[in-house]
Structure 1
Amino acid sequence: MAGVQCCSNPPTLDPNSGLGYLEELGGLKTYISGSSSDSKSAVLLISDVFGYEAPNIRLIADKAAAAGFYAVVPDFFNGDPYNIDGDSRPVLEWLKDHGTDKGLEDAKPVVEALKSKGFSAIGAVGFCWGGKVVTELAKSKSIEAAVLLHPSLVTLDDIKEVNIPIEILAAEIDSITPPALVEQYKEILATKVPHVDSYVEIIPKVEHGWTVRYNVDDESASKSANEAHNKMLEWFSKYLN
């Protein structure tokens, strides 16, 4: 059931989608939206298993750029995102080649590349698979703020080690990271106040993946996703500006 929900509503990948451009960053091919000269802070977006060519994650990056951030979406899967229709491997087999531990190691040079561009304030948002990678970054203080949107694979021990401001927006209908687990995240983070600020919310009537794998032509789905995107941007505006 969890594997099914993790891969439901797969996007139609489009390498030409978005308002931004492609450039190598930290050794990875990266979708970039925004101007390094006009922005004072950067946001790293780490995708779910479908990768950086999903139109919606690029749309979210474009929103972040419109809000004044330099937004980057690296290809952490090096041209091999999970393909639910064309991949003979179950997602758990695919994950053996694309573990979140490798994602973390690949993310570190990206963060350093952003710092070398002059960004002293860097935030990261992770969707599903990316949520685990962002949580690992949030332990190391290599970024200034974190947002997890319907994360996967994040343990209670992970949350105990978070030491930067973190926002978690979770789905009410989620067999991967169920509400009961999210409530435990919230309890742990509450013990860190006032040293570590946090905000945790379980969004009613939405499913795992709702912020990035939604139909833009569905008014209700878009409304729920846009509300989450706005909360993400407000969090970054609070801690990166």
Structure 2
Amino acid sequence: MAGPQCCSNPPTLNPTSGSGHVEKLGGLDSYLTGSPDSKLAIVLVSDIFGYEAPNLRKLADKVAAAGFFVVVPDFFYGDPYVPPADGSLDSLPTWLKGHGPEKRFEDVKLVIGALKSQGVSSIGAAGFSLGAKVVVELAKGDFIQAAVLAHPSLFTVDDIKAVKVPISILGAEIDQMSPPEVVKQFEEALAAKSEIKSHVKIFPKVSHGWTVRYDVSDKEAVKVAEEAHKDLLEWFVNHVR
């Protein structure tokens, strides 16, 4: 079950944030940014707060500036998780039942199919928190060319053992969802798969969600988030060609 960290620091959602625009792709409303003529695409799979999170869209714009066409689908159909005012998690189990990774996995395959039908030749995917489970499932098949998982949750070492594409895992030192000792297990499983390129990094002094739920007024939080963004972008530049 998702712990309290999955819901900490909820973003203030803004449907007009970012320099891109929203339109349907694969049947889903999606935030699109970058050149639609690019043959290289990146799909960002959000955490429970959805595709209107400003920091997530800001990251999408940053990846697009490197030459990728970037898609952030609304896998929650306008119904992201909204924490109660009292900070309790009472509503989370019910919300998760209707927004599980199985449905998102089926939906993301539709998005990838739409991208390929538009002439995209190489696709990467990044998953944040619960979104990482969706990307791990993609990485087990031939849907994408590279994967990045940021402060991941809801998957196992066995999932990692089944990965078939280059994969980067960005973990947090302070994380109940995937604590450093679990991330180390992921790293060991990947090290045993010498045929798969991998990168595992644990960022010190940061908590679950730090790559997309940071306080923009906190210089140190911005700095470490940007370090993770740089690692994410470099992974895609090197492996989505």
State TM-score, norm by structure 2: 0.96
Aligned residue in 2 for 1:126: 127
Query: How well do the aligned residues superpose, as a CA RMSD in angstroms?
Result: 1.4
Shift of 1:67: 1.0
Is contact 1:6–1:176 with CA below 8 Å preserved after alignment? Answer: yes
Shift of 1:18: 0.5
User: What percentage of aligned pairs have identical amino acids?
Assistant: 59
Q: C-alpha separation between the residues in 1 aligned to 2:134 and 2:127?
A: 7
Aligned residue in 2 for 1:233: 233
Aligned residue in 1 for 2:83: 84
Q: C-alpha separation between the residues in 1 aligned to 2:4 and 2:230?
A: 28
Is contact 1:145–1:236 with CA below 8 Å preserved after alignment? Answer: yes
Matches within 5 A, 1:18-97: 18-37=18-37, 39-85=38-84, 90-97=91-98
Is contact 1:214–1:225 with CA below 8 Å preserved after alignment? Answer: yes
* Equivalent residue letter for 1:179: P
* Equivalent residue letter for 1:112: G
Structure 1's consecutive aligned runs of 4 or more residues displaced over 6 angstroms after TM superposition are: none
Q: After superposition, give the CA deviation of every residue in 1:142-178 in whole Å (9 maximum; x if it has no partner).
A: 1000000001101111001001000000001001111
Is contact 2:4–2:89 with CA below 8 Å preserved after alignment? Answer: no
* Equivalent residue letter for 1:54: A
Q: 1:30 to 1:2 in 2, by over 3 A?
A: closer
Aligned length: 239
Q: C-alpha separation between the residues in 2 aligned to 1:208 and 1:74?
A: 22
Shift of 1:35: 1.1
Shift of 1:40: 2.6
Is contact 1:3–1:91 with CA below 8 Å preserved after alignment? Answer: no
Is contact 2:3–2:176 with CA below 8 Å preserved after alignment? Answer: no
* Structure 1 spans left out of the alignment, 5+ residues: none
Q: 1:240 to 1:28 in 2, by over 3 A?
A: same
Is contact 1:171–1:203 with CA below 8 Å preserved after alignment? Answer: yes
Q: C-alpha separation between the residues in 2 aligned to 1:184 and 1:90?
A: 31
Matches within 5 A, 1:1-241: 3-37=3-37, 39-85=38-84, 90-193=91-194, 195-241=195-241
Is contact 1:36–1:70 with CA below 8 Å preserved after alignment? Answer: yes
Is contact 2:13–2:52 with CA below 8 Å preserved after alignment? Answer: yes
Shift of 1:90: 2.3
SS of residue matched to 2:148? strand
SS of residue matched to 1:140? coil
